Structure formats: C-alpha cells, structure tokens
Structure 1
C-alpha cells in the first residue's frame, strides 16, 4: 500500500513539474560521489568489512521551481542494494516555497543531537554514521513573513527506523530472538504534522515548534514473550505530541546554542512516560586553527532518573588540506563513553581520504558498554564529481 501511494505521488509530482516548467538541458545538473570504506575490528568475527557506495544526484533549478532525485547504490559485504534516497519537486511562489515528495526535514540548532527534529527516522543498522537519517514522504510549505519563517509539514505515511537484526553487529540482542515492532496503521488519523515558527532577531536566532506524530524508535518491553516456541520481543512505536524550542546566540567568537523538547505520550501507554530532552552547548575558535564544540545532552522521563551526557568535538587544521578531529561522548551517570578520532586529507580537488576509529568503553549493560568489544579502525576514500 505504501509503495502504491508513493508511486501515485511521484507520478503526480513529475506531471506537475514538467507541466509547470520548461526544462532545458543546461538547467539539469548531475553530480555524485563514490565512497569506498574498509573497516577492521579489533575483536569479533567480522574482523574485515568492505563497503562501497555510489550516490547520484539529479538537480534542476529555475526561478519558479526545482527538482531533486538522489539514488544510492551500495555493495555491503556482497549484498547489493539500490535505494531512492530523495525525490521531490519544489515550487516557488511570492512568499511561499512548496516542496512535495521524499525529503529530509531538519529542525534544530544544536550539533548532531536535536530533540526537536522528529520527522526523519534513523538507520540503526549503521548507528554511528554521520548521515544515517532516512527521508520521508511529505508535503512541506515554508512561508516568509517579515522576519519570520513559518514551516508547515504533513507526512501522510509513517516511516519507521531501520532496526538491526538480533545477533547482528550493532544489536545488543542475542541471535535467534525475534523482533516484531508494532507500527501504526497508515491512515489519515495516524499521519504526522508539524509547524515551526523561527525568527532572526538581532544577535539571536530562535524558533518554536510543534510535532504530532509517532516516535521514530520503539519503546521496548522489560522482557520477551514466547510465541510458537520462540522468544519474541514486541517493541511499540508510540504517539507523541512534541513541544519544542531552540535558539542560538553569538557573543563575539562564542556561539551559545540550546534546544529543548517535551514529549507528551498517551496516558494509557505503559512503556514510556512523558519525558523531556535538552541540549545546551557552546562552540568557539580557541585559536585560528582550533575549533571546539561542547554540549550537555540530557533526558528526564517522569518517574525515572535523569540521564546526562557530555559531548566534545575538536577540529584542528594542520594545513589547508589536512585536519584532525576528536569527537567524544561521555555518559555522566554510567561512565561509559565513545571516542572517534579522525584524520582528514583532501588529496586533490574531488578526492578525499579519512582515517578514523571508534573506541567504546563502559560496563556491561550501559549504552556504549554493549559495544565494548566492537572497537574498529577504518579508512574511507571519497571521489566527488
């Protein structure tokens, strides 16, 4: 049913696009990148992992409209996959931009972790990738009024997060345990909506937002049940109303950022109480070559203890073409952590190399302690064209 609705939507989109605009060859742009990545685990069975990906972007832009389609072809451990990452048309009116199709919707101002960003789920089969968000089918209108921007979004179909299979590399569940997340039915009543009002006022940039929809990761029951002689976990996606705000203000070379969201769950939902998430951060140039971002990230669920994490990101420019980075997150309660050192080298125009590692530490049962034996190093080559 999802595929049928999406096909109808895309057909309508193409029809409207080519009916409203005159497409000339010079207005079309084809770009892309080839990514080859080799990972080597310090321990475990999957000691060498090779990943190749080809991404292609087709773009058309004019004063009245635009179109984008992104195709991704991956070959991960001899398992090829072709996916349509984005496909949307955009139409420009006097004070409103209208976008229809499969798209990414990014809300929030903090670095990497955004409590108000609730439309796009994550691909948790690759949880530590920088670009693991999944696009959703949506209608988006951005209206510009004086210094305000009003963002209205309707996503008619629910898109769930991609969960790793039990026993796979990034799953904390043992092999053989069946996972059956209960997704909401696709109906008008279950569609997702959001509205955001943002403004730049002098030295401060702020917004207020509201989202009504579904959690993008399910809530997990305390224990499994037995069905047909098998252990089965039945996590559930739950309906939420999210009230959020974010802001950013600069003081000289310092930029202070904040984001806060309150998630109201249904009273009769037993697996997750209402909760709040927040991020407070500051970024600045310590020197001309050293850039620092640090954030306090937390969550407080009603009836539960508060959890706080400290994130730090350092970037040092060795030369115009070489940089080193150190990214880390530390759980203040469980004292587990993740460290991600990087060396980036732009070999020449359109060709870049990255050397990096992911190092996990913590007690068994903690967020990063689950992956204590999955430390790995990697090398990645990216050819852009």
Structure 2
C-alpha cells in the first residue's frame, strides 16, 4: 500500500507531480587481501536511497529534485547525503531555460567523452563511476533556430571532482624515495597538502557553449568550455625538517582549462557511426611546467551494430571504439594521471540478451601504447517488476606504473540489488 501510494501520480487542477527513485544494496569483495592492505578499505557494503520529485505547474514550468542518501559501513568516506539535482525549467516559444543544480551531458561517444567537461565526477571508486557525475549550480539555456540548437551554460561556483582518500585501495601510495635534480635517490616522506581551489567568486565563474544541428541524417555539434579542470595537478616541493629528513610536499592545485570540441553521429545502413574530438588547452601551453598537464588533443571514433535473432529471438549489441590522445608538446604524458588514461586505446562493449529478463554484458579497454588492460563482465537479471540483480566482475592487468597495472591487486566481484519505483 505504501509503495503504491509513493508511485502514484496525483493531480490538482493543472498541477501534476511524480515521486520516484530507487533503493540499492551493493557489496564488493576483492580477491586479494594482503598485509599491504591492512590499512585500506577492503570491501564495500553500502545502501543507497534515491528520492526524486518531478512535476509541472503548467505547460511553461517544470521542476525536478533528486536527493541521495548513501551509507557505506565499510568506507565512511563514501557516505553522503546531498542533492543530486534540483532545478526548474522554463519553456518559451523558441527558448528553454533551466536554473539550479543540474547534470549536463555532452558528447556522442560511448562512455569516453572528450567534450563532456561541465560536471565533476565522484572518483572515490575510480571504476564505478556510472551515475557518479556531480550536479553543479548553473543556468543552462537552449535557443532554437529551425534545425539549430544553441545551448549556453553559466556556472558561477566551481565544484571539483572527488578523488580517492588515502585509505582507499584506489589511492596509489607514495614512494619512500625521491630523485634529486642531481640524480641522487634519497629516502623521503611524502606529505599531501590541502587542495588549492579557485575562490568562490564571480572571477572563478565558468561557462560553456554548444551549437548542434542535424543535416541529412547526420547529427553534428561544436562546443567550447572555459573554466577549470575538475581534477587537480600535483605540485611538488622539497624541504627538510629539523632532523634532516627530506619531505616532499604534494599540493593539489586546480588549474584553468579551455576545451574546444566537436562530435557527430549517424546511421550507415545497419551500423551506427559516432565520433568526438576535443582540444584541451591547459595552463601549460608551452609544455615547460612539469606539474601541469601539457595541452593535448583527444578523439574517439566508434562503430556499433545490433545483430538480431542471434539465438532464437535474442539480440546482440556490439560497439567498438578507438581513443587517441596527442600531446601538443610531443612529450609523453604519465598514464597514471586520470586525464591521460586513454592514450592509444581500443575500447569495446557487447550486450547479449539471454532472454527477456537476463542480459550478459562484457566490456574492455586495452591501451596499446602503455600495455595495460581493464575488463568488466556483468550478468544482469530482472527478478520482478522494478527489481534488478547484477553480478559484476572487474579485472585489471598491465605493467607496473601504468594506470590499470597499478590496480592488479584490485580484481573484485560485486553484487548489486536495486529496486526502482
């Protein structure tokens, strides 16, 4: 009776409201636990409650609010109670305006989107970032001229991404030595300082612009973002304490960033073709600052197809993508940096419908430049209406000091039970 009441839609004159959301239970176990991880969080046992209120006052005004409560008895750093989104839409004849906390997704590629830079991400679990974009307080407007849509976004207050805490298995521990400019390697202690973020004032405001259209079955867009990198650069400074011990002070700093982007998608017979590219103009345009990413180009090109009636009436969806990053200075970028994971990468995903209630999904990434790999497999089953069970395996491989290679001990299995209402 209570669930039926929550799910119901009720009207009062011209007002209509919907209440929905989901409840999720999530457990993760890692295959390998050693003394090295005694101080790390070695599992996940979390529950999530998401409540959403969606309504329209009339044809001109719409509102949405999503509130999330997440509790993790294994990792307190992942606990949160906050507003995912809370905005109001105003519809006009040739223009729409959205005001409030919102998530804005740009790009046509599958999962890897160089043009999608407006919202930060919760990277407390680097692999589990689906639905982990963080809403930003902003004003977004769309203006329609025939087949052309012009979207502008203004973000008055900066919000950074969340990086793993030092007790997380996704935080790579600092080394115990440092190389001096002379080449000598000496013992050292690394100390992580507080992140230096922009001031919360109008001078740190960000904005973005996107123009999109459709021409003879081809969807195109060009975009521009002017703001900050939501991930910090890490400045290093050597010092010595009174006992003569060398300290390496690591100061995360948020730097300005501009992104010029474009994307497209179309259907070519039974295939889907999509592409996306962007130029990231960082604060280190001349490539002389070792602590700031050099400016770089990144593009994604992908091809997908759905094969019908593979076995009986079951379908198979397959997509393959190539991701390439080109550093403007010609220097190699460290693959361990979150902004430089995909340098020369082949990315693929396949979804097979076992029956009406079950689906098997496998996806993987292999970077041929640095030789590291990530593979995820998932069996998804609909237990009943609105109730979904997923069993997920994550597997890593690669050389030491590569992004996925650093997490070879983090192979794991995840069980997720979700009820949507």
TM value normalised by structure 2? 0.82
In the TM superposition, residue 47 of structure 1 has moved relative to its aligned partner by 4.3
Match of 2:295 in 1: 274
Residue 382 of structure 1 pairs with residue 405 of structure 2 = no
Match of 2:84 in 1: 85
Contact 2:42 2:169 in 1 (8 A): no
Residue 187 of structure 1 pairs with residue 201 of structure 2 = yes
CA distance in 1, matches of 2:267, 2:96: 29
Match of 2:53 in 1: 58
Contact 1:196 1:209 in 2 (8 A): yes
Secondary structure at the aligned position of 1:183 is classed as coil
Change (3 A) 1:305 1:81: closer
In the TM superposition, residue 227 of structure 1 has moved relative to its aligned partner by 8.2
Contact 1:34 1:384 in 2 (8 A): yes
CA distance in 2, matches of 1:72, 1:141: 26
Secondary structure at the aligned position of 2:120 is classed as coil
* Corresponding residue to 2:395 among 346, 359, 366: 359
* Corresponding residue to 2:321 among 291, 295, 313: 295
Contact 1:282 1:294 in 2 (8 A): yes
Match of 2:260 in 1: 243
Match of 1:342 in 2: 378
In the TM superposition, residue 28 of structure 1 has moved relative to its aligned partner by 1.2
Match of 1:170 in 2: 170
In the TM superposition, residue 331 of structure 1 has moved relative to its aligned partner by 0.9
In the TM superposition, residue 187 of structure 1 has moved relative to its aligned partner by 2.4
CA distance in 1, matches of 2:65, 2:206: 23
Match of 1:315 in 2: 351
Q: Which has the larger radius of gyration?
A: 2
In the TM superposition, residue 120 of structure 1 has moved relative to its aligned partner by 0.4
Residue 97 of structure 1 pairs with residue 96 of structure 2 = yes
Change (3 A) 1:60 1:186: same
Contact 1:285 1:291 in 2 (8 A): yes
In the TM superposition, residue 356 of structure 1 has moved relative to its aligned partner by 0.9
Structure 2 runs not aligned, ≥5 long: 1-10, 176-189, 310-314, 334-342
* Corresponding residue to 1:33 among 19, 22, 37: 22
Match of 1:43 in 2: 32
Match of 1:258 in 2: 275
Change (3 A) 1:133 1:179: farther
CA distance in 2, matches of 1:48, 1:127: 14
CA distance in 1, matches of 2:294, 2:420: 45
CA distance in 2, matches of 1:231, 1:383: 47
Residues 231-270 of structure 1: CA distance to partner in whole angstroms, max 9, x if unpaired? 4311322112211100001101111111010112234782
Residues 197-234 of structure 1: CA distance to partner in whole angstroms, max 9, x if unpaired? 0001121000011111111112234x454487864311
Secondary structure at the aligned position of 2:406 is classed as helix
Secondary structure at the aligned position of 1:373 is classed as helix
In the TM superposition, residue 77 of structure 1 has moved relative to its aligned partner by 1.9
CA distance in 2, matches of 1:308, 1:239: 25
* Corresponding residue to 2:69 among 73, 80, 93: 73
Secondary structure at the aligned position of 2:202 is classed as coil
Residue 328 of structure 1 pairs with residue 354 of structure 2 = no
Contact 1:225 1:233 in 2 (8 A): no
CA distance in 1, matches of 2:302, 2:85: 31
CA distance in 1, matches of 2:238, 2:84: 36
**Paired residues, number:** 363
Contact 1:207 1:245 in 2 (8 A): yes
Structure 1 runs not aligned, ≥5 long: 1-21
Match of 1:15 in 2: none
CA distance in 1, matches of 2:295, 2:211: 24
